[in-house]
Amino acid sequence: MNKSILPFAIAATLMLSTSDARSHGDETKASTSKHQATSLASILAAKPDKVKARYKARHPQKTMEFFGLKPGMTVVEALPGGGWYSKVLLPYLGSKGQLIGADYAVDMYPKFGFFDKKTLEEKKTWVKDWTTEAEGWRKNSSANVSAFQFGSMPETLSGKADAVVFIRALHNLARFEKDGGYLTAALKDAYQSLKPGGTVGIVQHMAPESSSDEWADGSRGYLKKSFLIAQMEKTGFEFVASSDINLNPKDQPTEKDIVWRLPPTYATSGKDPELKKQYMAVGESNRMTLTFRKPE
């Protein structure tokens, strides 16, 4: 080969090698992304019909993908309850992942006014009890589990989480904010638990912006989008994005309404077939879906 063109030949070879490597990397990323999506889809497809009946309103796959949840992550799930989302997250996060349940503070529950003494007493051992129950939902390839209650997060969890999710869990915290600072405490724990750059994903019954602050204080289940963004930014989070995944424009509440009038609760229409039929036609609540980020 002519020595004068040798450097150009070498440069061309390097460029082709780099291009091939990038192409291979892109293919690998695409393959991994597709595998994750398939895995999540298969997990959801395997659920009982009673669970799948809620997919139309909850859109779990699109919601989790919007939140950026991926296998191997450490995720804090607020108010996990009986595990509707937990039972999806455990196998999806996988053996390298961690699911951390976070319940309301023990002293917040009496403020609801309708829990019996037995239930209130059980809340004192919730961390141990829920963790034990969640262990029963796990399989060999599932994420590890642990738990805490807002306002008393262990220091060992600081900076450990990749994501925190509040799925229909913020209205009660806001409802009792003036009587104990529960929303402030929960958001502080969320911030503290996250790694720099970590994500908060929120799904919440959305009040019309035109409604009064008194009505949209969480006690009716609804919160304003502007209120939540302000609270998150006050805590130190950066607003990232909003999605229409869980919007339902048929839900147009007045200030006489509560969110639990709608399915699946039908709290105000259980004995009125015609009214129940109307609410059934509306469907589940209109929900905002938001993501926030802890600055790096």
Average pLDDT, the chain: 90
- Give the model's pLDDT for residue 271: 87
Tell me the pLDDT tens digit for each residue of 135-185. Answer: 999 998 999 999 999 999 999 999 999 999 999 999 999 999 999 999 999
33 and 84 co-located in one domain: no
- Give the model's pLDDT for residue 285: 98
Residues 6 or more apart whose Cβ sits within 8 Å of residue 266? 260, 276, 279
Residue that is written with structure tokens 């409604």 in the block: 211
Cβ neighbours, 10 Å, residue 19: 10
- Give the model's pLDDT for residue 31: 47
Tell me the pLDDT tens digit for each residue of 90-145. Answer: 999 999 999 999 999 999 999 999 999 999 999 999 999 999 999 999 998 999 99
Q: Show which of 14, 30, 46 is a domain's final residue.
A: 46
Q: Show which of 12, 30, 46 is a domain's final residue.
A: 46
Distance of CA 131 to the CA centre of its chain: 19
Tell me the pLDDT tens digit for each residue of 1-23. Answer: 444 433 333 333 333 344 444 44
42 and 120 co-located in one domain: no
- Which among 80, 74, 93, 97 has a CA at the least distance from the CA of 156? 74
Phi-psi category of 181—alpha, beta or left, where left has phi over 0 and alpha has psi -120 to 50?
Answer: left
41 and 130 co-located in one domain: no
9 and 57 co-located in one domain: no
Tell me the pLDDT tens digit for each residue of 58-76. Answer: 999 999 999 999 999 999 9
What's the predicted TM-score (pTM) here? 0.87
Q: Show which of 46, 62, 77 is a domain's final residue.
A: 46
82 and 27 co-located in one domain: no
* Average pLDDT score over residue span 206-220: 98
26 and 172 co-located in one domain: no
Tell me the pLDDT tens digit for each residue of 262-286. Answer: 999 999 988 899 999 999 999 999 9
The domain spanning residue 104 has which CATH number? 3.40.50.150
Residue 56 three-state SS: helix
139 and 267 co-located in one domain: yes
Residue 291 three-state SS: strand
φ, ψ at 70 (rounded to 5°) = -140, 155
270 and 253 co-located in one domain: yes
- Give the model's pLDDT for residue 270: 80
Segments forming the whole domain that contains residue 69: 49-293
CB of 40 within 8 A of CB of 267? Answer: no
109 and 246 co-located in one domain: yes
Residue that is written with structure tokens 């997919």 in the block: 55
150 and 248 co-located in one domain: yes
pLDDT at 26 over 70: no
Side chain identity at 80, as an amino acid letter?
P
128 and 56 co-located in one domain: yes
> For the CA atoms of 100, 62, 167, 267, what is the dihedral angle to 10 degrees?
-140
- Which among 56, 44, 128, 127 has a CA at the least distance from the CA of 87? 44
62 and 191 co-located in one domain: yes
Q: How many domains does the chain have?
A: 2
